[in-house]
Amino acid sequence: MPEATGLHYEIHGADDAPWLILSSGLGGSGAYWTPNLPALNQRFRVLTYDQRGTGRSDRALPETTSIEDMASDLLALMDALAIERAHFIGHALGGAIGIEAAIRTDRFDSLTVINGWRTLSRHTRRCFAARLALLHGAGVKPFLEAQPLFLFPPDWIAAHDAQIVAETEHHLAAFPGIETMAKRIAAVQAYAPDPAGLAALKNLMVIATRDDFLVPLDTALDLAAPVPGARTEVFDWGGHACNLTDPARFERVVLDFLP
């Protein structure tokens, strides 16, 4: 099982292809990107990884954790694998990790953020409060059973009910624990990128979805506002996890953006 700096990772694609790092959202698992790998690894050497505290990575977290800590983990993993430069795609929390890492170091040739933010919406904070109430009050299984409501459009949920039920059992077996999940939600809610560092970024693409229930469209698009030349792509449908619900469009947009 490949592991470096306490993080489980997987590499897909040709050894001589340019690096592309994928970082997932709140769940933290590299397996989140599985449906997108066949398209992306045709042109790139793709690195997926489980964020600390999740998946098959080191489950131990300090008393508190932060997006800054997660960015340090990413950069340490790049050092361990001798990745000097890479493209980066991050979903929500994973996008914040990439933004923070890129603010610190000039090692990313491009950044793509899916349904991210620079200032967390009051609506999103209400969503997290509801999810924490479920987690602490009703337990892990109800928390996971409610999770698709925040990730996917209603029609997609209805059409994929059997798949969601099966995946819920898998997520239950792999759940990192109530304390770890609460720490990760706290990290999301505390993070705000440095304004000057954000404005200095280059080659940023922001993907936003109109029917994202968790992150409002204007909030996601606002991430691009202070970045000169930032590209925005708006999906009319697809929910928070639009790379999973509309993978063909997501992959087409990303591959068109990446050199």
User: Cα separation of 93 and 114, whole Å?
Assistant: 9
DSSP string across 68-105: HHHHHHHHHHHHHTT---EEEEEETHHHHHHHHHHHH-
Both tokens assigned to 41: 């690894």
Residue type, 15: D
In the structure, what pLDDT confidence band is assigned to residue 230 with cuts at 50, 70 and 90? very high
User: Cα separation of 9 and 79, whole Å?
Assistant: 13
Domain containing 121 — which CATH number? 3.40.50.1820
182 within 8 A of 88, measured Cβ to Cβ: no
In the structure, what pLDDT confidence band is assigned to residue 133 with cuts at 50, 70 and 90? very high
What is the pLDDT at residue 141? Answer: 97
pTM of this structure: 0.98
Count of the separate structural domains present in the chain: 1
Both tokens assigned to 200: 């200095």
What is the pLDDT at residue 158? Answer: 98
22 within 8 A of 56, measured Cβ to Cβ: no
Residue type, 237: W
Q: Any idea what DSSP says for residue 16?
A: T
Question: Each residue of 57-71: pLDDT tens digit?
Answer: 999 998 999 999 999
Range of the domain at 249: 3-257
